[in-house]
Amino acid sequence: MTMRTLTADQLDELRANPNVARCEGKTITYSARFKTLAVSRYETDGLTSTEIFREAGFDLDAIGRHTPKECLRRWRRTQKARGIGALSVEHRGRNGGRPRTVGLTDRDRIERLEAKVAYLKAENDFLAKLRAKRKG
């Protein structure tokens, strides 16, 4: 995590940028449109991460010199692992946290529970085979 704290003027400037979804104190959340565009421009146009952020109107002294490279690396990894749509969802932390169960439709809830049952059955089968191997 960065040790920089954004000043009130820097926060105002960032909030005025259409590529920023929100920002406060030390954090900047970039818009999904900007993330998608940045990854696309990097891969198709061959622009560097710094060039992309400068063209988008970001002051590198305010956000940090290494921020563009780190953000683009993370966004490209997310896109590769979960698809371009994953950039529109905010993921914090290493694994994205606990899956949300509030507001699921009955169909989604059933699918989730069926997957859980299948996982537990496979786990039980594996443990039964392991026990049988130890006995024999």
pLDDT band at 111 (very low <50, low <70, confident <90, very high): very high
How does pLDDT run across 65-105, given as a tens digit for each residue?
Answer: 999 999 999 999 988 888 877 887 665 555 556 667 778 89
What pLDDT was estimated at residue 93?
53
Residue pair 67/107 in contact (Cβ under 8 Å)? The answer is no
Residue pair 41/81 in contact (Cβ under 8 Å)? The answer is no
Whole-number Å distance between alpha carbons of 8 and 15: 10
Whole-number Å distance between alpha carbons of 131 and 136: 9
Strand partners, 29: 22
Tell me the helix, strand and coil percentages in the chain, rounded to 5. 60, 5, 30
How does pLDDT run across 47-61, given as a tens digit for each residue?
Answer: 999 999 999 999 998
